[in-house]
Structure 1
């Protein structure tokens, strides 16, 4: 890999409200364990993303699998292209951080695990903690809703595709939760399927 990387764009450098978004789907009696399912996702992240909304292309590194430090270029519907870097990889999870120029500033975590209260049910979950990179993106995301709709459609479809790869029976559709925190500390919580 190259020694020259784009700078990271953590949430603290962003603009607008802090958003914690969570997308998850539960699957009963999956044919794959969380580690088996995550190995499949890590082998080809792009396969699970809806190409028209978010096309993932690894910039450099191994063709399959994920390694800390690898970067992806993401072509996002509209003027929203950006890059992410792999910051963590484990048997049942991985995490990206956004890089300078990405529409968001923050991290996104992908994980598969069994539910404590229902060990025969596997949950695939995507959790992001981010802000818009600047005021213009914050306006488009929060006021017009364009960015929010594209992002939600991307991760909902990603979850559906991972659930299908896991086999078993999906217990409903993807649930989306959003917690918004503004600079005054006010919280807003939204949840829907």
Structure 2
């Protein structure tokens, strides 16, 4: 299907972006007490799998196109007393990505693909409460996971995977794993040196984890785990 000239949902206005940023900030502060955060130095073993060659073109923005260190981040939550399994959860999310995020904060607008479905090669634009949007392409879609890769215009260069796993009767583990670098030299200042980009990313994906736990029909058990491994740029060149 050819790329649409306009997304299926309109971009957020400046007023709505400002309002959304406030909501996300408040939600993030409320989430911190139930978040377990770990930070460590990474190495070349933290690199993601390469893009499928069939999905690489002039608009793609891979890890090699980024600047500065790579941040390998994993966000995990466990839901208990769930009324759906891991595959059912992923199916729900793929049908409408907005179901897992706070309303009026983030919008996943489809720019390529069929409504209420997700297939490899589909494209979305993530409208966030920030002065940038995030165009992405679907790199993988299976029964228990899907993966996005960044496109030109994204603040970051990298990939992100969403997956779920059954951990027992009525127990579902949901994980978001991201590998990202600053998309350009200007973004490196915001993303790495000021850490603004990384905190916006953390706030968004922590809220997504909580939303996924609610979608199971169960309840969160324990903390939301946020693990970050920083890989120096020198490791990426070796």
* TM-score tier after normalising by the smaller chain length: 0.7 to 0.9
Residue of structure 1 equivalent to 2:198: 148
Could you tell me which runs of 5 or more consecutive residues in structure 2 were left unpaired when the two chains were aligned: 5-56
1:29-40 equivalence runs, <5 A: 29-40=81-92
Could you tell me which runs of 5 or more consecutive residues in structure 1 were left unpaired when the two chains were aligned: 187-193
SS at 1:62 equivalent: coil
Residue of structure 2 equivalent to 1:2: 2
1:22-61 equivalence runs, <5 A: 22-61=74-113
Give the structure with the higher percent strand: 1
Deviations along 1:132-191, whole A, 9 cap, x unmatched? 1112111101222221121111111111011001022311232111100112449xxxxx
TM-score by length of 1: 0.87
Determine which of 93, 106, 109 is the counterpart of 2:145: 93
Deviations along 1:86-114, whole A, 9 cap, x unmatched? 11111110010000110110110000002
The answer (yes or no) to whether the contact 2:80–2:172 under 8 Å persists in 1 is yes
Q: 1:91 to 1:7 in 2, by over 3 A?
A: same
Give the structure with the higher percent helix: 2
Taking the aligned partners of 1:172 and 1:93, their CA distance within structure 2 comes to 23
Runs of 4+ in 1 over 4 A off after TM superposition: 3-6
Taking the aligned partners of 1:124 and 1:39, their CA distance within structure 2 comes to 13
C-alpha displacement of 1:44: 0.3
TM-score by length of 2: 0.72
Residue of structure 2 equivalent to 1:189: none
Residue of structure 2 equivalent to 1:168: 218
